Amino acid sequence: MNVSLAKEVTYRGQTVSTGIFKEPVGGRVMLRMLNLEGDRQADRTVHGGINKAVYAYPYEHYEYWSRELGRTDFSYGQFGENFTVSGMLEDAVRIGDVFRVGSARVEVTQPRSPCYKLGIRMGMDSFPKTFLSSGRTGFYLKVLEEGDVGAGDPFERVAGDDGGLSVRDIWRLAVQDRQDLEGARKALRLSTLAPEWRGRLEKRFKDAGIPFE
């Protein structure tokens, strides 16, 4: 479990405020509707909010990026995640899945589309584009019920549609397979899909002059 308050860094000769530099925290922490205690999103216009209260990233991807980038300097929170999880890959976790973690309940809302600040964290301006194109996006969580959480707490799936679309499915439809309109229609029927990714898919129909309903 990782948190960070916003701090100022220099980027391209300018001062930028960011909460991307997450660090592990011990003990129990309250998970609130908008974030973990001790954690802040610097720019609420693109980060945070109800549908992006906290971010989870699979630890399995650490090994992939270590090989891909030839680096061994990673630590928990490396990709700006609040929860470094295992056994929760994007093709297995579905939009709308509800998990009990600690005494809180959270719901999966969307994949992550990274901004340039991930590039700052990684020391590579090109990394956000590489990250997104890999499909190893992790996923954002909405807090349905506040509660205390701690490192080592299991994510227990308590609700969700077994036939629903996975986080990887949404990424594929929005980023990779733009011709799959039937898949996009199915995604748009998901009431739990966050507006940010819903808008991406709706735009595809609007640009083509095709109704999506």
Q: Is residue 204 part of a domain?
A: no
37 CB-near residues (< 8 Å, 6+ apart): 3, 29, 30, 31
Instruction: Let me know: does 78 contact 62? Beta carbons within 8 Å.
Output: yes
The CA–CA distances, whole Å, from 130 to 58, 69, 124, 151, 191 equal 17, 11, 10, 29, 29
Residue 206 in any domain: the answer is no
CA dist 94 and 201 (Å) reads: 17
Based on the structure, what is the number of domains in the chain? 1
Q: What tens digit of pLDDT does each residue of 24-79 get?
A: 998 999 999 999 999 987 666 566 789 999 999 999 999 999 999 999 999 999 99
CA torsion angle 190 111 175 95 (round to 10): -20
Task: Tell me the HSE value of 95 on the side-chain side, using a 13 A CA sphere.
Answer: 25
**Looking at residue 116, which CATH number applies to its domain?**
2.40.33.20
Residue 119 in domain: yes
191 belongs to a structural domain: no
Residue 172 lies in a domain: no
In a domain, 98, yes or no: yes
Q: Summarize pLDDT for 124-175 with one digit per residue, the tens.
A: 999 999 999 999 999 999 999 999 999 999 999 999 988 899 999 999 999 9
Residue 192 included in any domain: no
120: containing domain: 2-161
**Whole-model pTM?**
0.94
Instruction: Count other Cβ atoms within 10 Å, centred on residue 95.
Output: 25
Residue 187 lies in a domain: no
- Cα–Cα distance for residue pair 130/2, rounded to 1 Å: 23
pLDDT score for 213:
73
